[in-house]
A and B are shown apart, each in its own frame.
Chain A
Amino acid sequence: MTKSDTNNDSAVSIRDVSKKFGDTTVLEDINFDVTEGEIVVLLGASGSGKTTILRIISGLEMPGTGKVTLHGKDVTNIPARIRGTGVIFQSYALFPKMNVSQNIAYGLKLRRKPKKEIKQTIDRLVELVHLEEHKTKYPSQLSGGQQQRVAIARALAYEPEVLLFDEPFGALDAQIRTKLRREIRTLLKEIKVPSIFITHDQEEALELGDRIAVLNAGRIEQIGTPFEVYSKPSTEYVATFLGSANLLEGKIRNGKFESGEICLEVGGEYDFRDGQLVKLVVRPEDVFLRKPENLMQHYQKLTDGVIEELSFVGAFERVGVRLNIAEPRSIVVTRPKTETGAFPLEPGRQVTVGVVRFRILADHSRTSEQTKRAAS
């Protein structure tokens, strides 16, 4: 299947979507699908174009080029009011002069549903979102979390093609965010409505999404399950945006990664040519610190190092280690409590640094710089 084909099994299909505002390109060649009951999270920094994608799917914005398909129907040129998407805005956008029941009933009244059906739907939905006691309250009388649940119930009332969440937890404090996103994921899995979330919060993306699409400057850098995107980032941007990562520049030689004194077996999954410039990406939790004589066999030794600093960050310890290589540089290591208890560290201590998991990425920035230098 080429990327321009629409996947007929998809609830939502975005094909070759691009968008410009004036001379500024905000989206370029966006392609992805959402299957029935799936939750896809669009993760990106502000200005990455994620809100524009959501607005294009909902019909509030027209794409410059490309196609939007909802349940097999091309809706690219169909106005927002006919598309039947359910949008949960960051501000919730509850109608202030309508109470909870009236807000939920609004979409059904517009569709001229019988009064009995509207009442039954309201009762069912307020029960679903646990707001039975608040049916007659106005939005200003509800907490942020309650308002958000009303917004979801309101969108669910008219059985939308897809639910679109525009940074829905942005206005809530950290504790409520965590609780609500778990509640909402459970709810969405229960009702099986395809959903797209946008967020800039990596933790939120990892917890909510069945799949995550990482956006950067209007392009999708990588799309995959949270495990794939986190553990096998395909670009440096993804590696550093989703979680923290240590990066080491080097090159491939005889199937190994080399950077000064560092030499690691790369394995068969990569297809790099000899001499290619690459970057080693290692998550802080994939680095292990041991006494020099204690490095176990299933770790690959990176090099030796000296502890620079230690900080306690709740569930784990963060350690800064200066590597003993020709061009000294530091990396960050995180250690769980079990390990900090078994092997306490202090600044200045000599350790052996090993890695259990890592990624090797082609280093396009240095390659292009070197090409330019060669050309000039």
Chain B
Amino acid sequence: MAKLSGVRHTHGIDLVKPLSITMLIAVMLPLVLLPLASIFIFGTSTGLASFWNALTAPEAVYALKLSMVTSFWATLFNVLFGLFAAYVLAKYTFWGRNAAIVLISIPTAIPTAVAGFALLLLWGPYGMLGQYLPPDKQIMFTPYAIILANIFVTFPLAFGVIMPVLETMSKSLEEASATMGATRWQTFWHVTLPSLRGAIVGGALLTFARSVGEFGSTILVSGNLAMRTQTAPLYIFAKFNEGQVEAANAIAIVLALFSFAIFSILFFARDWLEAD
């Protein structure tokens, strides 16, 4: 990759470089680095034993597991749907195509609390559709509601990563495959899909990370019931409200490390994901 290097506009000592780097750190320090650091400093201040106890508390383990499981299903759905939607929209031109792209992208612009509220109005016990569901089949205030909320708020993420790759993929690859004897499905499986490997993994990681951290919509649709519908972010919120800051902090550290790990994979494995 080409490296951009600075162009010197002055002779002698160039103050612009050290000044701009100092300013960058000075802005990032209080806004990003210190809040993150404080989680780790506070979490380890009472010793590793209390941190471990807080982390292995049944409620905490349940919340983490629930977050992972609901995020997994939301990710699986959104990656598959994102792939399908991107394929259809990149391959075919039809009336309303742009409207469909806007519609898929809308959830990024909607506040998550509004998303949760909208789902409640639709699927809640007195909602537009929810009222027709029998009492024992209600979706709201169950883990399914969390999956539904996660699907909604992360809907465009995988699509947004896969679509540009598909749009720039040469049409002649698929045509070459067809002239060599491949069916449409064989072409998709052997030619198109491998070229989307990086985009699919990237889209999945983004969706999963965003789902695990989702709060605004899940607090409305899940009911926030400990050991039943309480996800990790809701657990942090509940424990903080109860004054159990150590318990909240332990999970906060796990979520922060988790996000850091996902971001690292996305950043450092980019070359591997895109490699031919």
Chain A residues within CB distance 8 Å of chain B: 58-60, 79-87, 89-91, 93, 95-98, 106-107, 110-111, 138-141, 154-155, 158
Name the distance in Å between B107's Cβ and chain A's nearest Cβ: 31
Contact B180 A60 (CB under 8 A): no
Query: With the chains together, A336 CA to B172 CA distance in Å?
Result: 44
Secondary structure of the B side of the interface? Answer: helix
Q: Which of chain B's residues have a CB closer than 8 A to the CB of A140? A: 276
Which of B9-17, B44-52, B181-189 faces chain A? B181-189
Contact A81 B170 (CB under 8 A): no
Contact B172 A91 (CB under 8 A): yes
Which residues from 169 to 197 on chain B have a C-beta closer than 8 Å to any C-beta of chain A?
170, 172-173, 175-183, 186, 190-191, 194-195, 197
Contact B172 A111 (CB under 8 A): no
Count how many pairs of residues, one from A and one from B, have CB atoms less than 8 Å apart in the complex. Answer: 69
Q: Which of chain B's residues have a CB closer than 8 A to the CB of A83? A: 179
Query: With the chains together, A141 CA to B275 CA distance in Å?
Result: 11
Contact A97 B179 (CB under 8 A): no
Q: Given contacts A59-B179, A95-B191, A97-B194, could you give 5 more A-B pairs where the C-beta distance is less than 8 Å?
A: A60-B175, A95-B177, A96-B276, A107-B180, A110-B181
Contact A106 B180 (CB under 8 A): yes
Q: Which of chain A's residues have a CB closer than 8 A to the CB of B179? A: 58-60, 80-81, 83, 85-87
Contact A81 B183 (CB under 8 A): yes
Q: Please list 24 pairs of residues, one from A and one from B, whose beta carbons are closer than 8 Å in the complex, sorted by A's number.
A: A58-B179, A59-B179, A60-B175, A80-B178, A80-B179, A81-B178, A87-B175, A87-B179, A91-B172, A93-B170, A95-B173, A95-B177, A96-B173, A97-B194, A97-B195, A97-B197, A97-B276, A98-B194, A107-B180, A110-B180, A110-B181, A139-B276, A158-B180, A158-B181
Q: Which of chain A's residues have a CB closer than 8 A to the CB of B190? A: 95, 106
Name the distance in Å between B135's Cβ and chain A's nearest Cβ: 51
Query: With the chains together, A81 CA to B181 CA distance in Å?
Result: 4
Query: With the chains together, A220 CA to B221 CA distance in Å?
Result: 69
Contact B194 A110 (CB under 8 A): no
Query: With the chains together, A95 CA to B170 CA distance in Å?
Result: 10
Contact B175 A93 (CB under 8 A): yes
Contact A60 B178 (CB under 8 A): yes
Closest 3 interchain pairs by CB?
A97-B194, A93-B176, A93-B172
Name the distance in Å between A150's Cβ and chain B's nearest Cβ: 12
Q: Which of chain B's residues have a CB closer than 8 A to the CB of A138? A: 276
Q: Which of chain B's residues have a CB closer than 8 A to the CB of A97? A: 194-195, 197, 276
